[in-house]
Structure 1
């Protein structure tokens, strides 16, 4: 978590952007992070130079001799007009040329970067502000970026790109990524799921960073994210790199089209794909339509996950409630496919306020494993009633929170045997789900326990009413006497 001091510095820089005319929050975060990367390049170079001076390590310099004036610590000392000229005519073109340098993890995401800061005075204020933010610590970089993303979400636009971080964190903890996983989010947005998976691995698998093979896998071949919004791709990629992943595979792709040829490539899918989308059949890969013939994106993504996962691969996906109980043939087909041909493990029902203020739709989390041979026996249901925040548009922190209970219970499913349907979680046998047309709505199976209330006898209630009426009449008489004087 970034400190109040750093947060205040970020807020002041953000204010400079807005008062200077850059009011689109995505444009602000892009320009902000471009400058963070420019500063980061110089810090990497300085760290390498210090290491060389101490122990003689050789390294390939990022800045050749004729580009030393493009380094952050050099140009920040210049007057505003000179700094602006260096940035516009030197630094940005230089970074775009780095695209050909395979060792530059920054390059491919900066290739089409545009310098939008309009005046030298504005640039000077922003550079001075960023220069005061300590950036060498990876955790600080990551937390800083999360704070920037939260500002995008709370600005009133583009909230659809953001799954609440505490929900992402819960899902990752439920799935427990391993050091050998190959993880994908086919609707990555700002790469929140991939970032959180990386953080979980850092905290729980230290061997990742001491074994060369695992470290190379973590930095180069573990994380994959796809999206169709180029701005979000850049933001997602920079999010990953600021969280310490050197070379994330964040690419432009229509995941549902024939352009996506991935078959049995990944071991873990973490996703919150678009809801309520509708596509033409011609725009959808035919093999997905064979699983469920529909134009609804939320159903097509489930078919896609089954295709992209390798045997034994796991998936946790957020879906609108309609996916769980929809009565159309397409809805039933995809549920039947997962239940009969793979292993549906859990359905976690979330309250409708989780995605407010951007959407009020009720959602659930489906957790399943691709087997190709079935395996669904008992499906675990959990009725989440609170996530630690109010369920209105304000989403203020509250004490009620089921998340830790969900993680604890899911991690010890053997202890869930025998729970009554009146409890917050319980098992439902697959035969019962079949009998109900593969309906996965928790309300189909949850039993509500009604408390018996004993009322007074009718004659007692009538006597009470008679006494109240007498008291009212006395009161009216008293008021009339006072009015008559």
Structure 2
């Protein structure tokens, strides 16, 4: 959970970007350099802590080697450290592979090291500093890059609420196929280790080496996730990284997991890296998929349906179009309702993601063995969107805003004990499949702002919601136009080939 001290540290890291901006280092490059340096500093803190010190980085490449140097000596030492760590086996090599010093002015490098990083104890904040800082830098990087490549990083408050209801245990294996900076994995691990004193040695070993797994196509986010896990005592410095840097949608990995937690990238790109990952939106053909489509959200949902083990449970953030899109979307929803127990849907408010126009939900479902009757008997929907207004800065989503949802969910208790309330309503299977195209975009609350002028939100909130709605509409039109262009290009390409 983000603390006042962690927010101060994140603000300091963001302020450090001003040191490099004048020398031509953009926010994306700054984030990369910050990744390398911050890991070295936190590894040094781990090696010098009073209790259970552990050296993660070989001494010859450690943080203190950079201190007291300036000019060419500092630049040469930093380059030597980057090259040396890139040649290391296991996680270290994966983190620093291809790392380059983009800070051409040694004085700027020294300022960043001495004034912005070395003076703080980053490990003491007890928070996901890497992830929090990366999210803040992500918002600012939008002005430095042409595309944020589908990035909608998950608010930490939402991550913790999802984990609190899914309740991962030491017996589970958890995967995030679009892991970003590793927020879901860290939260799941923290939840499963709450009673650490009662864990057996085999359980501890499982939690360290096999409990979590992540996949991400972004190079920077993969590095951040690997660092985050390692610095939280997850994984082994001599073993392989628990984060696979690849496109999760390419193929069925063959393995199955008991828990899947994810916020797959929205938009047509499957990348979650700031600096690139352009995608042509091509259809993905996989034998384990129910439908063939270019829609990335539907493909991630299919991938998650594949990798989830029998009786496994999933909590997945997906945009509204997954609930109402026809064709492939309808086919997939029917599959989800029959072969899975799709038991809970959380409708998220707007204003909680970094990209305007995002309307999303959390789908909670369990995988079940083959059966003649549909597994979904009743879908419970919690509406956290209607008459709710959040912004990233002035009114961010907090964990307490999700307390009523978590309480209504009744984690760990039979769903038959759930009780409907104003924002909490259930729909049986027959009601759901009787809807046109099995549309699961379910609403029932009245929008008070449309009925009473006295209840209108502040003008800036209304303006932001208008922008979000228009942006979402334009994104949908763009997707339709691109799909039509692809379809028309197919016959033309065939004629040209002939």
Q: What is the TM-score of this pair, normalised by structure 1?
A: 0.76
User: Does residue 192 of the first structure (1) align with residue 183 of the second (2)?
Assistant: yes
Question: Displacement, 1:12?
Answer: 4.5
Give me the whole-angstrom Cα distance separating, in 1, the residues matched to 2:329 and 2:10.
45
Residue number in structure 1 paired with 2:463: none
Residue number in structure 1 paired with 2:249: 256
- Residue 196 and residue 398 in structure 1: after superposition, are their counterparts in 2 closer, same or farther (change >3 A)? closer
Residue number in structure 1 paired with 2:138: 153
- Of the three residues 21, 25, 47, the one matched with 1:22 is 25
- Residue 387 and residue 190 in structure 1: after superposition, are their counterparts in 2 closer, same or farther (change >3 A)? farther
Residue number in structure 1 paired with 2:226: 237
Q: Is the 8 A contact 1:379 1:428 kept in 2?
A: yes
Question: Displacement, 1:416?
Answer: 2.8
SS in 1 for 2:259: strand
Q: Is the 8 A contact 2:40 2:57 kept in 1?
A: no
Question: Displacement, 1:153?
Answer: 3.2
Residue number in structure 2 paired with 1:35: 37
Q: What is the TM-score of this pair, normalised by structure 2?
A: 0.75
Question: Displacement, 1:375?
Answer: 2.2
Question: Displacement, 1:51?
Answer: 7.2
Give me the whole-angstrom Cα distance separating, in 2, the residues matched to 1:351 and 1:276.
18
User: Does residue 266 of the first structure (1) align with residue 264 of the second (2)?
Assistant: no
Question: Displacement, 1:346?
Answer: 0.8
- Residue 229 and residue 11 in structure 1: after superposition, are their counterparts in 2 closer, same or farther (change >3 A)? closer
Give me the whole-angstrom Cα distance separating, in 2, the residues matched to 1:361 and 1:262.
30
- Of the three residues 111, 114, 120, the one matched with 1:133 is 120
Q: Is the 8 A contact 1:269 1:315 kept in 2?
A: yes
- Residue 217 and residue 387 in structure 1: after superposition, are their counterparts in 2 closer, same or farther (change >3 A)? farther
Give me the whole-angstrom Cα distance separating, in 2, the residues matched to 1:155 and 1:396.
19
User: Does residue 218 of the first structure (1) align with residue 207 of the second (2)?
Assistant: yes
Residue number in structure 2 paired with 1:462: none
- Of the three residues 83, 86, 89, the one matched with 1:93 is 83
**1:216-365 equivalences in 2 (<5 Å):** 216-247=205-236, 248-257=241-250, 260-263=251-254, 265-277=256-268, 284-289=284-289, 291-326=290-325, 328-355=326-353, 357-365=354-362
Say which one has the larger Rg: 1
Deviations 1:210-244 (A, max 9, x none): 53222222222122221222222112222333333
- Residue 45 and residue 433 in structure 1: after superposition, are their counterparts in 2 closer, same or farther (change >3 A)? closer
- Residue 62 and residue 14 in structure 1: after superposition, are their counterparts in 2 closer, same or farther (change >3 A)? closer
Question: Displacement, 1:369?
Answer: 0.4
**1:40-119 equivalences in 2 (<5 Å):** 40-46=42-48, 63=58, 67=60, 70-88=61-79, 90-98=80-88, 100=89, 102=90, 105-119=91-105
Give me the whole-angstrom Cα distance separating, in 2, the residues matched to 1:190 and 1:153.
12
Give me the whole-angstrom Cα distance separating, in 2, the residues matched to 1:172 and 1:61.
29
Higher relative contact order (CA 8 A, sep 6+): 2
Residue number in structure 1 paired with 2:106: 120
Give me the whole-angstrom Cα distance separating, in 2, the residues matched to 1:392 and 1:5.
20
- Of the three residues 114, 129, 145, the one matched with 1:144 is 129
Give me the whole-angstrom Cα distance separating, in 2, the residues matched to 1:282 and 1:197.
33
Question: Displacement, 1:315?
Answer: 1.0
Give me the whole-angstrom Cα distance separating, in 2, the residues matched to 1:6 and 1:252.
28
Q: Is the 8 A contact 1:264 1:311 kept in 2?
A: no
Give me the whole-angstrom Cα distance separating, in 2, the residues matched to 1:9 and 1:360.
29
CA RMSD after TM alignment? 3.3
- Residue 43 and residue 311 in structure 1: after superposition, are their counterparts in 2 closer, same or farther (change >3 A)? same
**1:399-418 equivalences in 2 (<5 Å):** 402-411=401-410, 413-417=415-419
Question: Displacement, 1:60?
Answer: 8.9
More helix by share: 1
Question: Where do 5+ consecutive residues of structure 2 fail to align?
Answer: 143-147, 270-278, 452-498
Question: Displacement, 1:269?
Answer: 1.0
Give me the whole-angstrom Cα distance separating, in 1, the residues matched to 2:12 and 2:267.
39
Q: Is the 8 A contact 1:342 1:376 kept in 2?
A: yes
SS in 2 for 1:352: coil
Instruction: Figure out how many residues of one structure are paired with residues of the other and give that number.
Output: 419
Q: Is the 8 A contact 2:83 2:99 kept in 1?
A: no
Give me the whole-angstrom Cα distance separating, in 2, the residues matched to 1:270 and 1:387.
27
- Residue 201 and residue 19 in structure 1: after superposition, are their counterparts in 2 closer, same or farther (change >3 A)? farther
Question: Displacement, 1:309?
Answer: 0.9
**1:168-183 equivalences in 2 (<5 Å):** 168-183=159-174
Residue number in structure 2 paired with 1:371: 368
Residue number in structure 2 paired with 1:482: none
User: Does residue 380 of the first structure (1) align with residue 380 of the second (2)?
Assistant: yes
Residue number in structure 2 paired with 1:467: none
